[in-house]
Amino acid sequence: MRIIRGKYGRRRFDVPKNITARPTTDFARENLFNVLENIVDFEGAKALDLFAGTGAISFELLSRGCLSVTSVEKAETQHRFIHKVSRELGADNHRVIRGDAIKFISAARPDAGFDIVFADPPYDLPGFEEIPPAVLASSLIAPGGIFIIEHSAKRDFSHLPGYIDHRAYGSVNFTIFRRPAP
């Protein structure tokens, strides 16, 4: 795994062979962050990475100056790997939670308010199509904040409120939403 840009840019970490996650490709991640740089200010932002997998998105967010990043990952192997890399980077503004992302969404406190929420559920997860509406209806996204969901080409979320963009990079698709500011 490679961190592309920012203060940790070009750092590489060997992902354990027994990780079952499908990591976002470097190509897709780099292109997504090129798009995001034009619509969000990473400096000082609070970010949430749901279904964090290898933590690649979390580390990219940290590297680009987010004030804090919270990663939620259920699998023990992935959780340990994210925690290990976070320690190696000295990222004391990184909170790693071993837990179910679906439960995290439904238990969101009214004051949660992240500026950036990213979700990369397994493409074959039962109930996948219910995740974007649940996140958009929750208090996870701060006013003016954005939500990005990674998905396969067979999904279309453009009908949901706050939709602003869809990007495809090979077999990786991202749909981006913005919660209106008051």
Q: Which two tokens stand for residue 181?
A: 């500011």
CA 68 to chain centre: 13
Q: Please choose, from the candidates 85, 92, 38, the residue with its C-alpha nearest in 3D space to the C-alpha of residue 59.
A: 85
3-state secondary structure 84-131: HHHHHHCCCCEEEEECCHHHHHHCCCCCCCEEEEEECCCCCCCCHHHH
Quick check: 158 pLDDT over 80? yes
CATH number for 43-178: choose from 3.40.50.150, 3.40.50.1000, 3.30.479.10, 1.10.10.10.
3.40.50.150
Provide the pLDDT for residue 89. 93
Say which residues have a Cβ less than 8 Å from residue 65's Cβ, sequence separation at least 6: 6, 7, 42, 43, 44, 45
Provide the pLDDT for residue 34. 94
Provide the pLDDT for residue 17. 79
Please state, in angstroms and as integers, the Cα–Cα distance from residue 34 to each residue in 31, 64, 109, 131, following that order.
Answer: 5, 12, 31, 25
pLDDT tens profile 24-50: 888 999 999 999 999 999 999 999 999
Can you tell me which residue has the tokens 């990222």? 91
**Residue 78 near residue 19 (C-beta atoms within 8 A):** yes
Share of the chain above pLDDT 70, in %: 100
Quick check: 161 pLDDT over 90? yes
pLDDT tens profile 65-122: 999 999 999 999 999 999 999 999 999 999 999 999 999 999 877 777 999 999 999 9
Mean pLDDT of the residues in the chain: 92
In angstroms, the CA 166 to CA 74 distance is 27
